[in-house]
Amino acid sequence: MSDWDGMRAPDAAAIEALAREAVAGLPARFAGHAQDVAIRVAEFASEEMLDELQIDDGFELTGLYEGIPLTEKSVSDQPGGPDIVWLFRRPILDEWAARGNVTLGELIAHVVTHELAHHFGWSDEDIARIDRWWE
């Protein structure tokens, strides 16, 4: 019997737990605002999300920030619900397996941090200047 017998791929609850650990480990200056963002896990991004981002393959999107960045919020904004960081389980697991050089927790922490950076008003270009993870 091998060590892999009985093993199962992490489910949505396990992915969410790892994401919450990542949020809990953020520096204090970001942690408070990050707590205001909901975390949701889905198997894949919805067709509407993929269409809006002009992405054809659902495996290409591991996470998405949905909301109004703090730098754009106004006191006159009517909240339509919480800002959300979406994590897409199957693409995350696929990337984790393909990379083979990071733990699942490290990958999820990276995706969560990237999406929270959008909550703080950073663009993909801003993030890329300080984060070479995706290269």
Q: What is the pTM of this model?
A: 0.85
Q: What residue spans define the domains of the chain?
A: 12-66+81-130
Q: What is the pLDDT of residue 51?
A: 96
Q: How confident is the model at residue 2 (pLDDT cuts 50, 70, 90)?
A: low
**How confident is the prediction for the chain on average, in pLDDT?**
86
Q: What is the pLDDT of residues 90-111, one digit of tens each?
A: 999 999 999 989 999 999 999 9
Beta-carbon neighbour count of residue 95 at 10 Å?
Answer: 18
Q: What is the pLDDT of residue 78?
A: 63
Q: What is the pLDDT of residues 4-23, one digit of tens each?
A: 677 788 999 999 999 999 88
Query: Is domain 12-66+81-130 classified as CATH 3.40.630.30?
Result: no
